[in-house]
């Protein structure tokens, strides 16, 4: 058993270079066990699974077509494809530096779309601000507030920017006072 594990570990170093999973013993040990149990033992002349169970487990090789005269056309290139894997040389990796806009003035700028909410479109005067949230739009932090309108239900609440809320300072003072009152009661 020890010899089989040593051989598998030696193979594992080559396996690691290609795939990189030698540290994952949970998935590798069943392969070692199958390799050991199906190989012929030097003293008994039989495999351990044949001695223990009376039969050898079927391997994928056993399921191949015995009557197949020639190799399938896709199997001819399989060996070459198996050896190739995407490797990128680390020596070519360079650190990322954000480009300055003044160096590339003709480069198109990308903007994230934002919801445009007009005050005239609002369902009425603002009753109070329920929540505050900071979001990032066009590379800048912006606060938005969940606003409840007078004589409206909660499904009509909207997230509005600070400049889209009339009397925003009054409503923000009320929101902060309500938060302080909540914290003092707890």
pLDDT in tens, 77-100: 776 776 666 677 778 888 877 777
Q: How many structural domains comprise the chain?
A: 2
**C-alpha distances out from residue 65 to 33, 73, 74, Å:** 26, 15, 15
Strands (E), the chain: 126-137, 140-149, 158-161
The DSSP-derived string for 53-94 is HSSPPP-GGGGS-TT--S--HHHHTHHHHHH------GGG--
**Domain around 48:** 1-58
Torsion of CA 122, 126, 129, 131, to 10 degrees: -20
pLDDT category of residue 147 using cuts at 50, 70 and 90:
very high
CATH number at residue 137: 2.40.50.40
- Mean of per-residue pLDDT scores for the chain: 78
pTM of the model: 0.35
**Residue 8 lies inside a defined structural domain of this protein:** yes
Domain final residue, candidates 38, 58, 78: 58
Domain final residue, candidates 58, 81, 99: 58
**Residue 92 lies inside a defined structural domain of this protein:** no
């Amino acid at each position: 058993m020890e010899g089989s594990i040593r051989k598998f570990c030696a193979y594992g170093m080559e396996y690691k270079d290609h795939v990189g999973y030698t540290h994952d013993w949970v998935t590798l040990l069943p392969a070692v066990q199958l390799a050991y149990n199906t190989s012929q033992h030097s003293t008994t002349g039989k495999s351990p699974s044949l001695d223990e169970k009376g039969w050898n487990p079927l391997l994928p090789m056993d399921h191949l077509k015995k009557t197949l005269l020639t190799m399938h056309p896709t199997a001819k290139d399989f060996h070459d494809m198996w050896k190739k894997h995407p490797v990128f040389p680390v020596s070519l990796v360079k650190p990322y530096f954000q480009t300055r806009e003044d160096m590339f003035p003709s480069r198109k700028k990308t903007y994230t779309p934002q919801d445009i909410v007009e005050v005239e479109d609002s369902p009425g005067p603002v009753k109070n601000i329920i929540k505050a949230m900071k979001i990032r739009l066009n590379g800048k932090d912006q606060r938005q507030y969940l606003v409840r309108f007078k004589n409206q239900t909660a499904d009509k609440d909207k997230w509005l920017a600070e400049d889209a809320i009339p009397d925003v300072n009054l409503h923000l003072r009320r929101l902060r006072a309500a938060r302080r009152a909540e914290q003092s009661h707890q």
